[in-house]
Amino acid sequence: MQRVVIVGASLAGLRAAQALRKRSFAGSITLIGEEPHAPYDRPPLSKQLLSGEWPAEKLFFHNREKHDALELEQRVGVAARSLSVSTNEVELANGERVPYDGLIIATGARTRQLAAAKDLAGVYCLRTLDDALAIRAALEHKPRVVVVGAGFIGLEVAASCRKLGLAVTVVEPQTLPLLGPLGAAAARSVHELHRGHSVEFHLGRAVTAVQGTGRVERLLLDDGSALDCDLLVVGIGVDPETRWLAGSGVALEARGGGVICDSTLATNVPNIVAAGDVVRWPNAGNSERVSVPHWSNAVEQGQAAATRLLEGPSTAPFTHMPYFWSDQYDRKLQSAGSVRGSDVFEVVQGSLEAASFVGLYSRDDRLTGVLSSNAPAAFLRARKLIAQTAPLSEARAAFAIR
Amino acid sequence: MKIVVDFDLCQSHGLCTEAAPELFELRDDGFLYVLSDTPAPELERKAEKAALECPVGAITLKDE
């Protein structure tokens, strides 16, 4: 293998490139990215960048890691348009064709738009550095902010706006913020946290219309209420960015369009692997294919996909314990393992009303996941127990003794 | 190799303690401790893994 092409110049793609070199791959590595930027870190976008604490320069990986020895050929600011698996070429938006011997698909995901807000100014999604810089600039005019979608991005935007002293209203079709990722009990505490910081909520409500002449002025909800608004941030989820793979022969999920991978992150096409938010794979021996669109998974999958490309089908299966965190006001929430499918959530340290707590998710008396707030050492302890799928009694004991 | 942790950036995610338990420890006070900032050659790979997996890029490795 002489030429590896990585499509997607974000975290998974960069970590894949680094892993190739670490494994002494001496051929060429071409990193193709749609955004006009070198690889940068996304988590601070909704936090330190939006609140103005950090300049954009602080996000670029090359400012905190040595990249010279990687000898990457970076092609940023140009998207991949299509893939030919018969000629082994990626076609770029400018018509250029880039040949490969091995291909790593790491194109991530794109934000869902709110159809009702189409073509209005003052409406933003937050995924990219340019999105975040545009929102930050708009925030300087002290707008009345409405956030649609009480997921992690939406709530972090709300928290950052409150930090800047701006009025924020959050609209969410579910009855609580973060209900899916956290479960009802913890979701209620997040709701209270934001209400305590004067965020106004419209829960269980859908947007029926977005009004304005040229720019957003008002949202109408399905209960008839109207929200005046100068800036609308839409955080209603993402879809895998695989439009460029349509018809290429790389198998995609019929539902959602993610790249179908086996347990080693290989696609159905030889010498093509995938990493990051774009991937659907059978994690940890499960038959169901899942996506884990979090930072640590992108890192580990980038490394694993690179290894798979170099070492072939005998590579060990890639397994991952999901990990994510979220910073909101003075809270650092950390979650590991799986909430879905758990039937019990119990707090084993602190309380949900306090700033610091640890809660365990379990099913059939087996630990499946943990959520903590401002309790990093206890969180790590729980994480280790999840890795061992410890019985709940053992996990309880590990906390009770402290 | 010398390990330098920027404690202004460190948020005690603790992933480094799993990547390289011989080098990093997160104690009950919630703070990260570097057990050895000059890893033995056989631990350098683990140190590199810890640096790459740090969610806030707080770990820098310098050649000595």
Could you list the residue range(s) of the whole structural domain that residue B42 is in?
A: 2-62
Nearest CB among B27, B51, B57 relative to A377 is that of B27
pLDDT reading at A370 higher than 70: yes
Q: How far apart are CA A193 and CA A180, in angstroms?
A: 17
**pTM of this prediction exceeds 0.90:** yes
Q: What angle do CA A168, A173, A178 make, to 5 degrees?
A: 75
Question: What is the band of B64 on the pLDDT scale with cuts at 50, 70, 90?
Answer: confident
Q: Which CATH number fits the domain that encloses residue B30?
A: 3.30.70.20
- Average pLDDT over every residue of A14-30: 97
Q: How far apart are CA A266 and CA A281, in angstroms?
A: 9
Please list the residue range(s) of chain A that carry CATH number 3.30.390.30: 330-400
Please list the residue range(s) of chain A that carry CATH number 3.50.50.60: 3-110+238-314, 113-234
Closest CA to A7 of A31, A41, A42: A31
Closest CA to A393 of A367, A361, A359, A358: A367
Neighboring chain B residues of A380 at a CB cutoff of 8 Å: 14, 17-18, 26
pLDDT reading at A273 higher than 70: yes
- A53 has a chain B CB within 8 A of its CB: no
- B21 has a chain A CB within 8 A of its CB: no
ipTM value of the model?
0.92
How many A×B Cβ pairs under 8 Å?
Answer: 45
pLDDT reading at A249 higher than 90: yes
Neighboring chain A residues of B18 at a CB cutoff of 8 Å: 380, 383
| CATH number for the domain formed by residue range(s) A3-110+238-314 | 3.50.50.60
**Per-residue pLDDT at A340:** 83
**Per-residue pLDDT at A199:** 98
**For residue range A136-156, what is the model confidence (pLDDT) as tens digits?**
999 999 999 999 999 999 999
**For residue range A276-313, what is the model confidence (pLDDT) as tens digits?**
999 999 999 899 999 999 999 999 999 999 999 999 99
Nearest CB among A299, A375, A379 relative to B53 is that of A299
| Tally of domains within chain B | 1
Nearest CB among B11, B18, B48 relative to A332 is that of B11
Residue A252: CB atoms within 10 Å: 21
- Would you state the CATH architecture of domain A330-400? 2-Layer Sandwich (3.30)
Instruction: Classify domain A113-234 at the CATH superfamily level.
Output: FAD/NAD(P)-binding domain (3.50.50.60)
Which of A45, A65, A383, A384 is the best substitution to test chain B (most B C-beta atoms within 10 A)?
A65
Nearest CB among A41, A377, A402 relative to B30 is that of A377
**For residue range B2-32, what is the model confidence (pLDDT) as tens digits?**
999 999 999 999 999 999 999 999 999 999 9
pLDDT reading at A385 higher than 70: yes
Q: Do A300 and B26 touch (CB under 8 A)?
A: no
Mean of per-residue pLDDT scores for chain A: 96
Q: Do A402 and B15 touch (CB under 8 A)?
A: no
Question: What is the band of A344 on the pLDDT scale with cuts at 50, 70, 90?
Answer: very high
Question: What chain A residue is nearest to B48 in terms of C-alpha separation?
Answer: A22
From A213's Cα to the closest Cα of chain B, the distance in A is: 42
pLDDT reading at A401 higher than 60: no
Q: Do B26 and A380 touch (CB under 8 A)?
A: yes
Decide which of A49 and B64 is more confident. A49
Share of chain B above pLDDT 70, in %: 100
- A249 has a chain B CB within 8 A of its CB: no
pLDDT reading at A402 higher than 60: no
pLDDT reading at A212 higher than 80: yes
Q: How far apart are CA B49 and CA B52, in angstroms?
A: 5
Q: Do A325 and B53 touch (CB under 8 A)?
A: no
Distances (CA, A) of A2 to A26, A27, A102: 8, 5, 8
pLDDT reading at A221 higher than 60: yes
Three-class secondary structure of residue A81 per DSSP: strand
Q: Do A402 and B13 touch (CB under 8 A)?
A: no
Nearest CB among A41, A380, A402 relative to B14 is that of A380
How is the beta sheet containing A168-172 ordered, strand by strand? Answer: A123-125, A231-234, A145-148, A168-172, A200-203
| Residue keyed to tokens 């009855």 | A175
